[in-house]
Amino acid sequence: MSSSDKIGVGILGASGYIGAEMMRYVALHPCLDLRWATANRDAGLPVGDVLPNLRGFVQQVFLTPAEAEQRLDAVRVVFLALPHRESQDVLPRLEAAHPDKIWIDLAGDFRTPDAEGFRRYYGQEHRAPELLSRFVYGFTEAQRKTLSGARLIANPGCFATGMLLALYPLVASGLLSGRVALTGITGSSGSGREPSRTTHHPERAQNIRAYKTLSHQHLLEVEIFLESCSGRDLRIHFVPQSAPVVRGIFTTLFVPDEPKEVLREVFDRFYGDEPLIDVVDGSPDLRSVQTTPRGIVGVDGAPDRGSIVFTVIDNLGKGAAGQAIQNMNCALGLPETTGLAWPGGFV
C-alpha cells in the first residue's frame, strides 16, 4: 500500500512517552501513515533526533499545535496524547470544525460522563462537560460494538485497563460486588517523560513504595464503567505501587469467596477467543507483555482462602497506544488486530 493510499493520522503531544509509543505503533501498522506529530518544546526538531528509536521510521519534524491544525485535512484519525486536562481545551473547537474525523483521547479528560467526579478526582472543573456524554469509553474487549463507527473515543487509563481486565468479567457475571481489594504495581514509564523525585534513578532503582493510596483517579472511570455495565455498586480499594521496572502494570485482585475453578471458567468464557488476551493458571510474568499490545490474566487459589486474579499489561501498550490502535481499528471497521500482531521478546 503506497503511503498516499494509507489512512492519514496525526498525533497531538507526540514527544511524551505515550505519544512516542503511538508513533511506534503507527509505524508498525500496515494501513496507517503518520502525517504529522506535534510537540511543544521540541517543535521544529526532527522526530528522529528527539526519539532515536524512530530514526529511519519517522521522517517528520515535530510541528507546533497551530501548524498541525492547518493540516487536519490530511488526516482521518487524531490521537491526543496531551497532558491530562489539555484535551478538553482543544477538542471542542477542533471537533466542531472537523466533525468527520475520529478523535481518540489518551488522557483522563473524557473517560466518564461524570463532570462532578472529574472535579473530585482531577481537582478542577471540567471545561468541556457538554462533550463528556458523546465519548465512547474504549475498554475494547467490552466495548467493541459501541466502538464500531465511533468518532469520539476515550482511551482507558493504564491502571484502569489492568483493573478492568480482572474485574469486568467477574462483575458482569455477578460474581463480584461491594468492596473489592486490588493492588497495581507499575513501572516508571507510567510517570511520563518529565524527571521527578520518584523517578530519579538513584532513588527508584531499588525501591518499592505506594502512592495515591485508595484515591487514584482511575477509580473514577473503573467504578463508573462497571456500574454502568452491571447495575451493581462497587467500592474499589486500590493501592497503586511503584517498582523499579520501566514498563508494565501487574494487578492483583482478591476474590475471597470464589474458588479458582469458577473464576477460570468465567475468564475462559470472556477471553477465550480474545486475540490479544491470554488466560493462564497461576501468576503471569509481567515480562511476557512488555513492549506489546497484549494482556494476560492469571487465576490462582487455595482451599479455604478463595482466589486471586492477576493481570499484566504494558502501560504504554494495552494500557495506552496498543488499545488506542485497537479502538481505532474498531472505529474504522478494520480487523481489530491489524498492526498489533507482532511478538515481544522473551527477555
Instruction: Report the site for a second copy in 51-90 (rule: CB under 8 A).
Output: 51-57
Residues 156 and 222: their CA atoms lie apart, in Å, by 9
Residues 149 and 79: their CA atoms lie apart, in Å, by 16
Site for a second copy in 14-33 (CB under 8 A): 17, 20-21, 24, 27-28
Annotated catalytic residue within 31, 158, 229, 330: 158
Q: How far is the CB of 96 from a second copy (least distance, A)?
A: 33
Single residue of 45, 72, 229, 246 touching a second copy by CB under 8 A = 246
Judged by beta carbon, residue 99 or residue 256, the one nearer a second copy is: 256
Judged by beta carbon, residue 92 or residue 275, the one nearer a second copy is: 275
For 145-190, the DSSP string reads: HHHTT-SEEEPPPHHHHHHHHHHHHHHHTTS--EEEEEEEEE-GGG
Based on the shown chain and the rule CB under 8 A, indicate whether residue 155 belongs to the binding site for a second copy: no
Q: How far is the CB of 63 from a second copy (least distance, A)?
A: 19
Instruction: Walk across the sheet containing 77-80 and list its strands.
Output: 32-37, 7-12, 77-80, 102-105, 152-154, 136-137
Residue 120 C-alpha cell reads as 473530585
Judged by beta carbon, residue 53 or residue 228, the one nearer a second copy is: 53
Based on the shown chain and the rule CB under 8 A, indicate whether residue 295 belongs to the binding site for a second copy: no
Based on the shown chain and the rule CB under 8 A, indicate whether residue 278 belongs to the binding site for a second copy: yes
Site for a second copy in 166-225 (CB under 8 A): 179, 181, 183, 185, 187-189, 191, 193, 195-197, 199-211, 213-215
Residues 184 and 171: their CA atoms lie apart, in Å, by 19
Single residue of 310, 311, 320, 323 touching a second copy by CB under 8 A = 310
Residues 107 and 91: their CA atoms lie apart, in Å, by 12
Residues 239 and 211: their CA atoms lie apart, in Å, by 7
Judged by beta carbon, residue 333 or residue 343, the one nearer a second copy is: 343
Angle at 253 between CA 329 and CA 270, to 5 degrees: 40
Based on the shown chain and the rule CB under 8 A, indicate whether residue 316 belongs to the binding site for a second copy: yes
Residue 324 C-alpha cell reads as 488506542
330 is known as an active-site residue: no
* Residues with catalytic roles: 158
